[in-house]
Amino acid sequence: MTENKSEIRDGMRIEWDVPIRMDDGVVLRADVFRPVADGRYPVIMTHGPYAKGLSFQDGFPGMWEALSTRYPDAVTGTTNKYQNWETADPEKWVPDGYVCIRVDSRGAGRSPGYLDIFSPQETRDYYECIEWAGTQPWSNGKVGLLGISYYAMNQWQVAALQPPHLAAICPWEGASDYYREFTHHAGILNTFVSVWYPVQVSAVQHGGGGRGDRNPNTGEPIAGSATLSAEDLVANREDSAAELLIHGFDDQYYRDRSPELEKITVPVLSATNWAHHLHTRGGFEGYRRAGSERKWLEVHGLEHFTEFYTDYGVALQKRFFGHFLKGEDTGWDRQPPVELNVRHVDGSFELRPEQEWPLARTRWAELHLHPDDHRLATQPPTAATSARFEALGDGLTFTTEPLGEDTEITGPAAAHLHVSSSTTDADLFLTLRVLDPDGTDITFRSALDPAGVVGAGWLRASHRATDPERSLPHRPWHAHDQPTPLVPGETEALDIEIWPTSVVVPAGHRLAVTIQGRDFEVPGDGPWPETYGVPMRGHGMFVHNDPDDRPAEIYGGTTTLVSGPDQPSYLLLPVIPRTPGSPTATRRGPFPTPRR
């Protein structure tokens, strides 16, 4: 049986493996970092499956190397002995009068039980952990949630349950829709779960010993002392990847794992990234749909973990939580509702306050596709034209003329296309690109990919039905509840969501869109970096190549794009006027030069 230990070290009172009993008797284990002095303090909490005792440096050495060498401010002012992947460093919070708590979720790390990611049971456990923390003698009764990715996604979930002691949340780059963002892109299965789960989740399942790692501060095995057989481990966890193939549509399985955002009432700071094909959309949708009257949106770039740890990110987090958990005058009452780090092609960012999202001054520009000469133009073709492409080939690329002036594109985007297929279905992959005067792609350090693309959208044609009550011109909402097969050779209209993006395109550069029936790959010979065996060539590790989801006899046909006066095919792009009356901005950077 696990025993919790208490000690004072590095200016903190640390309690390891504190038991938190759930209503069904299962005991979860938490590490609690708090000030040495007696008192009542606000709580910063995370709850998840990545093993609270696994050090960032040991578990994710490549990411740690990138963070510590490129952004030294992220790792200064701390011994870094308590760093844990995608959670707050207690050495940066406890001295400011916070309690930091990390909980291993049910079945993970040092907590026993059945492992079922994002399940209603896991969310209910989180609720109980929040209530436990809010009623401890060292707590002031206010609990805030802060963390990246998994530790952001489950914030949306549990906040919708309205735990009484939850006071504020800061989901930092986390999906808010299990179907549309985490597992599928517009009906097309994203293979991320099948790649990520064995490495980051089941590898640290309780009773498995995980990677064989031990907590460097306690010497205890990160996945508990007990060793279960391989068969028992399998029996004690949900096969999350297999479930995705069983559930191809947005049914109750996904709804049970997606939050009712409208039920969130606590203050929200939603921080998201311009180019993360798992999390970007969730940050914007969470902000837009959350029921809270007090909510803010912040958008940044770079690797998806970077700004969480930098001085910029920590300062933002502390101003938010200082205001809502401690009642301090942090200036948060003057924080603009929206704060954007607008991207520039030199790798720098323009920090700019805004009042709403999408921006009210947006000029929605239609750029029409001309299949005869592959142009993008403001006027549609004067006669119906078409072009064919092999779905699994290079597709079609349409480009503008060189831009006559610097042009900012910031916001959600969409495409309205008329297509037919030689088969009963087709997958459409849209990639927004910026080409320099020599025709070379401008790419950005984004998510885990050093050569990230500007923007992306997807749609499985048989999922083309939209919900008119939830759809917007710039953000169609697909129901994903039943198939509507194509009739081979018959043209259908498709509305395709392109996830929000931002870039200032310099004069002389060109905009382009590539349309394919497979994942786009940045041109060039590499070598391309890999994450968990997936080569990253523009979309990180978020690719769509599961043969069971995409059998070649259906998704390997010939696709025809049609455009003309009666069947217009166009992009809808958010152009932001750069006028003297625009909000003031400051330039941040320069950051590492974008790869070309």
Q: What is the 3-state secondary structure (H, E, C) of 571-591?
A: EEEEEECCCCCCCCCEEECCC
430 falls in which pLDDT band (50, 70, 90)? very high
CB within 8 Å of 19: residues ≥ 6 apart? 2, 4, 27, 28, 29
Category of 89 on φ-ψ map: left (φ > 0), alpha (ψ -120 to 50) or beta:
beta
Mean pLDDT of 468-490: 97
Mean pLDDT of 430-437: 98
Please provide the DSSP assignment of 210-233 as one string.
Answer: TTS-B-TTT--BTT-S----HHHH
Token look-up 């040991």 returns 58
For the sheet containing 449-452, what is the strand order?
302-303, 444-447, 449-452
Q: What is the 3-state secondary structure (H, E, C) of 259-305?
A: CCHHHCCCCEEEEEECCCCCCHHHHHHHHHHCCCCCEEEEEECEECC
Q: Which of 68-72, 448-452, 474-478 has the lowest mean pLDDT?
A: 448-452
Closest C-alpha among 383, 520, 504, 526 to residue 458: 520
Residue 595: the pLDDT is: 30
CB within 8 Å of 409: residues ≥ 6 apart? 501, 502, 503, 504, 505, 511, 573, 574, 575, 576
CA distance 206 to 209: 7
Residue 579: the pLDDT is: 66
CA distance 60 to 459: 33
Residue 588: the pLDDT is: 59
Closest C-alpha among 347, 305, 273 to residue 595: 347
Residue 495: the pLDDT is: 98
CA distances from 49 to 15, 105, 127, 151 (A): 19, 5, 16, 9
Q: What tens digit of pLDDT does each residue of 367-418 get?
A: 999 999 999 999 999 999 999 999 999 999 999 999 999 999 999 999 999 9
Cα angle value 44/46/48 (rounded, 5°): 175
Q: Residue 64 is inside which H or E element, if any?
A: helix 61-70
Q: What are phi and psi of 224, to 5 degrees?
A: 90, 160
Whether 127 contacts 163, CB under 8 Å? yes
Tokens read off for 53: 């005792």
Whether the model clears a pTM of 0.85, i.e. scores above it, the answer is yes
CA distance 450 to 224: 36
Closest C-alpha among 269, 253, 264 to residue 289: 264
Q: Inter-axis angle of helices 280-289 and 150-159, to 10 degrees?
A: 20
Residue 454: the pLDDT is: 95
Category of 589 on φ-ψ map: left (φ > 0), alpha (ψ -120 to 50) or beta:
left
Structural domains in the chain?
Answer: 5-335 (3.40.50.1820), 364-581 (2.60.120.260)
56-59: which pairs have CB atoms within 8 A and are 24 or more residues apart?
Answer: 56/80, 56/83, 56/84, 56/85, 57/83, 58/213, 58/216, 59/85, 59/211, 59/213
Q: Inter-axis angle of helices 150-159 and 120-134, to 10 degrees?
A: 80
Q: What tens digit of pLDDT does each residue of 6-28 get?
A: 999 999 999 999 999 999 999 99
Measured from the Cβ of residue 416, the count of other Cβ atoms closer than 10 Å reads: 20
Residue 596: the pLDDT is: 28
Question: Per-residue pLDDT for 592 more than 60?
Answer: no
CA distance 41 to 461: 53
CA distance 360 to 419: 32
532 falls in which pLDDT band (50, 70, 90)? confident
Mean pLDDT of 207-217: 82
Closest C-alpha among 33, 40, 43 to residue 10: 33
Please state, rounded to an integer, the average pLDDT across all residues of the chain. Answer: 95
Percent of the chain with pLDDT over 70: 96
Beta bridge partner(s), residue 148? 172
Instruction: Output Rg (C-alpha) for the chain, integer angstroms.
Output: 24
Mean pLDDT of 211-233: 91
Q: What tens digit of pLDDT does each residue of 335-353 get?
A: 999 999 999 999 999 999 9
Q: What tens digit of pLDDT does each residue of 126-168 get?
A: 999 999 999 999 999 999 999 999 999 999 999 999 999 999 9
Q: Dihedral of CA 117/477/285/378: which sign? A: positive
